[in-house]
Amino acid sequence: MTTPTVSVVMSVFNGERFLSEAVESILDQSFRDFEFIIVDDGSTDHSTSILDSYQERDARIRVCHEEHAGLIRSLNRGCELAQAMYIARMDADDVASKNRLACQVDYMQFHQDVGVLGGAVEWIDATGKSLGVYPNPADDREIKAGLLNAFCTFWHPTVFIRRDVFAWAGGYRSCFVGAEDLDLWLRIADRFQLANLEATLVQYRIHPDQVSMSKRKQQTLSKLAAQASASFRRNGKADPFNAMQEITPEALAALGLTDARQQRELVSDSRQWIQRMCMAGEFDVALNAALELLCDDMKHVERWQIADLQLTVARLYWRQKRIAKTLLAGGRAVVTRPAVVGHPVKVLARRLGLM
């Protein structure tokens, strides 16, 4: 067999719900010269049998069955097995557009200075309903500025990376759980150009199993660590995370990232996740997450953020027709920040065209 142009790499752990749709979207690509490496990360559902059946039917698929070791290790394993010039990331719950690989191969062949290429995504809910299109900056300078501010300006399942660039960077680092992609892009940005296509490359599925609230906390810590790691390198200092096995609140505090900073970032990230769950119609999940967050220590969080969370809880109780709890949550929001009283009035005025 000749070496393929692209190695598509996917990690799967108990992903049977959306797996067939994700696999079919790659097999149906208009660009055909690829291998499809799928690492089964110790699945205990029907993912293993689904993957084996696809491997029997299509010679481009290579399934690697591993003991459960987590996303980072399985992604590194898949990328180690890659033989092609380019590595294309794909997730087991998303859907690739038919021309995704064709567009990215064409761009990379004419932009030899670009090490990593992404693109826009269309958010969809669990049923496939569209929730809108979300692009990222296309320009190298804007992308890097976003990354340095801990805003990941790549949608991970759209990423297309030169295999030699991935090897140069050393792959994903194991301690950056939940932000392994942000850390990798920041390290690559030290040496290579980055780019995004304006085209929508992937339908990106929003559902509760993506990131639980417990993992969300670790993701926020890892995001802050990736930003701090880049700062150390830019200032010519040794990267303290090279020897770190686990990112903890204490480790970040020792590097100058205070408890207050960590707490504010966690609340900000969690509020965005709760909003996504509401967009996707996962209202019970959003309510439980908001209540869990409000039970945490919030002493360093701005009052408007707390009040906004309490209003979110009130709205979600209202959807459940739990009037007493709606009034209680709304009252707490008013006590926390009286100015929130004007928020529903403003929303109504906008809908009526008065503002």
CATH number at residue 179: 3.90.550.10
Q: What is the pLDDT of residues 183-235, one digit of tens each?
A: 999 999 999 999 999 999 999 999 887 765 568 899 999 999 999 999 999 99
Indicate whether 185 and 273 sit together in one domain.
Answer: no
Range of the domain at 297: 258-355
Query: How many whole angstroms separate alpha carbon 219 and alpha carbon 225?
Result: 10
Query: How many whole angstroms separate alpha carbon 205 and alpha carbon 198?
Result: 19
Residue 55 has pLDDT above 80, yes or no: yes
Indicate whether 201 and 262 sit together in one domain.
Answer: no
Q: Average pLDDT of the chain?
A: 92
Quick count: other Cβ atoms within 10 Å of Cβ 239?
15
Residue 150 has pLDDT above 80, yes or no: no
Give a yes or no: residue 95 inside a domain: yes
Give a yes or no: residue 60 inside a domain: yes
Give a yes or no: residue 348 inside a domain: yes
pLDDT score of 348: 40
Give a yes or no: residue 213 inside a domain: no
With a CB cutoff of 8 Å and minimum separation 6, the contacts of 178 are 211, 215, 216, 218, 219, 220, 222, 223
Provide mean pLDDT across the span 145-172: 93
Give a yes or no: residue 168 inside a domain: yes
Total domain count for the chain?
Answer: 2
Give a yes or no: residue 223 inside a domain: no
Confidence label for 343 from pLDDT (cuts 50, 70 and 90) = low
Query: How many whole angstroms separate alpha carbon 144 and alpha carbon 227?
Result: 11
Domain at 345, CATH number: 1.25.40.10
Give a yes or no: residue 233 inside a domain: no
pLDDT score of 345: 42
Q: What is the pLDDT of residues 248-291, one digit of tens each?
A: 999 999 999 999 999 999 999 999 999 999 999 999 999 999 99
pLDDT score of 352: 40
Indicate whether 189 and 273 sit together in one domain.
Answer: no
Indicate whether 182 and 286 sit together in one domain.
Answer: no
Indicate whether 273 and 197 sit together in one domain.
Answer: no
Dihedral sign (CA 138, 144, 150, 152): positive
3-state secondary structure of 160: strand
3-state secondary structure of 237: coil
Residue 344 has pLDDT above 60, yes or no: no
